[in-house]
Amino acid sequence: MRRPAASLACLLLALSAHPAGARSEGQGRQESAQVAQSALPKVRLIATGGTISNRRGGRLTADELIGSIPDLEQVARAEAEQFANTSSSSLTLQQWLELARRINALFAGDADLAGIVVTSGTDTLEETAYFLNLTVKSDKPVVVVGSMRNPSEVGYEGAANLLDAFRTAADPQSRNQGVLVVLNDEINAAREVTKTDALRLHTFGTRGYGILGVVDNDTVVYFRRVVKRHTRDSEFDVSTLEHLPRVDIVMVYQGASGDGIKALVDQGARGIVIASAGAGATSGTQSDGIQYALEKGVFVVIGTRTGAGRIAARARGPAAGRQPARRASWDFWIASEDLAPLKARILLMLALTRTSDGAEIQRMFMEY
C-alpha cells in the first residue's frame, strides 16, 4: 500500500509543478522581449496636427498615431507628445519658436533619445522643416512627416509614412544630416525639399539635386549627404527670442506695380524677398518699389520663382544688368543663391535676429 501512495504523491507533485514551470517559461519569453525592446533606439513623436491626424469626427492624438503604426515595436521605443493639433498653415511663428525650443530641451535633457519625429500638415511642411533645420541644436535626426490623405480616406498613407519616419530617425546614418522630410519611402533635405503637387501622394521632392535617400523594406539607404550648414553647426539661437522680425515675399509678374512693396515697407517689414522672373528680373514699377525699400534700410533678397537655379551674389541688381540708384543701397541688397523664396524668408528672419550687416547676411545665404 505504501508504493501506490508514494507514486500518487509524486504524481501530484509533478502536476502541481507543471503550471509553475509553464509560467516561468512564459515569463522568460516576456523578459526576453522586454530586453530586446529596451535595446532599440528611443524615438519621440511630437504631433502638431495636419492631414495625417485629421480624421472625420476629430483629429487623432499623438498616442493614437503611435498606435496606428504597424510593427513599430520592432523599430524603436516610441514616445508620444502632443504639441498642437491643427493645420500646418495655422501654426504661428511663435509656435515655431516654441517647437524648436522644445526639441532642443528634449535632446539636452535625455542623452538616450536617438531622434525625434514631428508630424505636420503638408501645406507648409517644408517651411517648418527648414526653420527647425536652422534652429535645432543637435546632430541627432529630426524627421518631419505628413500625409496627403486623411485617416478617413481610402488609401491613407499616414501609418506607412510614420513607420518610415521612425525608421529614419532611429537609424544612425541619419545623424548630422540636418532636419529630414520623409514621405512615400523617400528622404529629402529640409533645405531643398518642396511640395510639387496640391493633391498627388508623390508630391515632395528636390528639384535639381534629387532625394537624399530611401526607406526600403530591409534598410534605410542614403545616396548623398547635406553639405550646407545646419542644426548643431547653425549660429542661430532661439532660446531667448520672443518674436521673429517681419519679412514678406513679393512675386514678380508681368506689369506688376511697386506700390505693394512700398506698402509692406510702410507697414513695418524689415525684409522683403522678391520671387523674381528668371534670374533676377522684375516687371512694371517693381524696381521703383525695391529702390524705395533699400533707401528705407529694408533688406531685399532676390530669389527666383522658377523653382530651381542660383542667384549669384555678384548679380545683385533689381533686374538683369541693373544696380540700385545709390551705392549705399548695396548694403541692403542680398542674393538668395539657390534658396527658394519660401526658405529665403525664413533665413532672412533669423539672420535679422543676429545682425544688420548686409555683408554678414549675404555670407549666411552662401553658407546655409
Q: For position 56, what pLDDT does the model report? A: 94
* pLDDT value, residue 30: 59
Q: What is the pLDDT of residue 36?
A: 63
Domains of the chain: 39-233 (3.40.50.1170), 247-367 (3.40.50.40)
Is 124 a residue of the active site? no
- Which of 51, 124, 135, 168 is flagged as catalytic? 51
Predicted local confidence at residue 28, as pLDDT: 67
pLDDT in tens, 262-316: 999 999 999 999 999 999 999 999 999 999 999 999 999 999 999 999 999 964 4
Looking at residue 38, its pLDDT comes to 78
The pLDDT of residue 329 is 75
pLDDT of residue 27: 73
* Residue ranges in the chain whose pLDDT is less than 50: 1-17, 315-321, 327
pLDDT of residue 275: 98
Decide: 147 and 184 in contact? Cβ < 8 Å: no
